[in-house]
Amino acid sequence: MAAASSRRRAAEKKDLFHVVHKVPAGDSPYVRAKHLQLVEKDAEASIVWFWKAINSGDRVDSALKDMAVVMKQQDRAEEAIEAIRSFRHLCSRQAQESLDNLLIDLYKKCGKVEEQIDLLKQKLKMICLGEAFNGKITKTARSHGKKFQVSIQQEMSRILGNLGWAYMQQSNYEAAELVYRKAQTIVPDANRACNLGLCLIKQGRHDEAMQVLEDVLLRRFSGLDDDKAVARAEQLLRELCPTTHVSSPLDIGFSFTEEIVERLDLVMNDWTPFRSRRLPVFEELDAFRDQMAC
């Protein structure tokens, strides 16, 4: 009886260890990699074992994603990109979306703006074809160990915001303004509003920028509780010097920007989450890809 009780306590202690350190149980290559990553804090050794897990078919979805994250932390983002590109075909269909999100972060870290833009456009296309979220209208996401639900609308707004920031890195402020404004019509967000204000400042349209930034200060966004965004808006307004009003492209008749906005509106109007077909608007948008990236 005493021996059985001792073994039971040892097993309970071992289970508690896995729970506390968030390490899976067992002795497979993936488990060893996670132990090295999370318990022993040996990033380089964990990468070696993540490779072994991938090559042996041991939890490949998780092994590839976790290895790429560790590589990014070790300033080996280029290797992480190549690893995902080379081995994502071994992963399940359900893992592809999270791999895309990881690739976008890696492209951003490496300054690969063109690749980032192409992948963000591809993700928007998947939403419009009803292929995102595995055909569902919401998905479960995780941040800092907590789970929460994300809607298709929230995801589209987030992707448009990232696309706007990528365009700003190319100094393509007209295209950035376009997608920021579209993102704000879907799910208004204080941080994206600050980026839109900065985008307008870069175009010399200071009056419009002041209006956008003042909306942030007045907390005119639903559910806004972001002191950092408010502080950023205050900083941008302090740096903004009053100048003569510069006409917006929207004041000058039918412009290139309006034309692209119209096409994005078509995407939004035609989108149905369960429809699986290529929308004609994408043929039209493809024709403008080079122009938008100018």
pTM greater than the 0.85 cutoff: no
Residue 254, both tokens: 């039918």
Q: What is the mean pLDDT of the chain?
A: 79
Residue 90, both tokens: 């071994």
The larger pLDDT score, comparing residue 276 to residue 220, is at 220
pLDDT (0 to 100) of residue 273: 42
> 146: which strand partners?
143
The pLDDT of 230-245, averaged and rounded, is 77
The larger pLDDT score, comparing residue 261 to residue 257, is at 261
In angstroms, the CA 73 to CA 37 distance is 11
Q: pLDDT band for 70, please (50, 70, 90 cuts).
A: very high
Residue 110, both tokens: 């490496």
Q: pLDDT band for 147, please (50, 70, 90 cuts).
A: confident
Is it the case that residue 14 has pLDDT exceeding 60?
no
pLDDT (0 to 100) of residue 49: 96
In angstroms, the CA 219 to CA 66 distance is 38
- Percent residues over pLDDT 70 in the chain: 70
pLDDT (0 to 100) of residue 191: 92
Is it the case that residue 12 has pLDDT exceeding 70?
no
Residues 6+ apart with CB under 8 A from 52: 29, 32, 33, 58
pLDDT (0 to 100) of residue 242: 55
Give Cα separations from 255 to 177, 248, 258 (angstroms): 13, 10, 5
The pLDDT of 230-246, averaged and rounded, is 75
CB hemisphere CA count around 280 (13 angstroms): 2
pLDDT (0 to 100) of residue 8: 56
In angstroms, the CA 54 to CA 88 distance is 10
Is it the case that residue 172 has pLDDT exceeding 90?
yes
In angstroms, the CA 70 to CA 46 distance is 8
Sequential DSSP letters for the chain: -HHHHHHHHHHHHHHHHHHHHT--SS-SHHHHHHHHHHTS--HHHHHHHHHHHHHHTSSHHHHHHHHHHHHHHTT-HHHHHHHHHHHGGGS-GGGHHHHHHHHHHHHHHHT-HHHHHHHHHHHHHHHHTT-GGGG-SEEEEEETTEEEEEEHHHHHHHHHHHHHHHHHHTT-HHHHHHHHHHHHHHS--HHHHHHHHHHHHHTT-HHHHHHHHHHHHTT-STT---HHHHHHHHHHHHHPPP-PPPPPGGGSSS-HHHHHHHHHHHHHHH--TT--S--HHHHHHHHTHHHHT-
Is it the case that residue 282 has pLDDT exceeding 60?
no
**Of the given ranges (31-35, 117-121, 260-264, 270-274), which has the lowest mean pLDDT?**
270-274
Tell me how crowded residue 293 is: count the other CB atoms within 10 A of its CB: 15
In angstroms, the CA 177 to CA 204 distance is 13
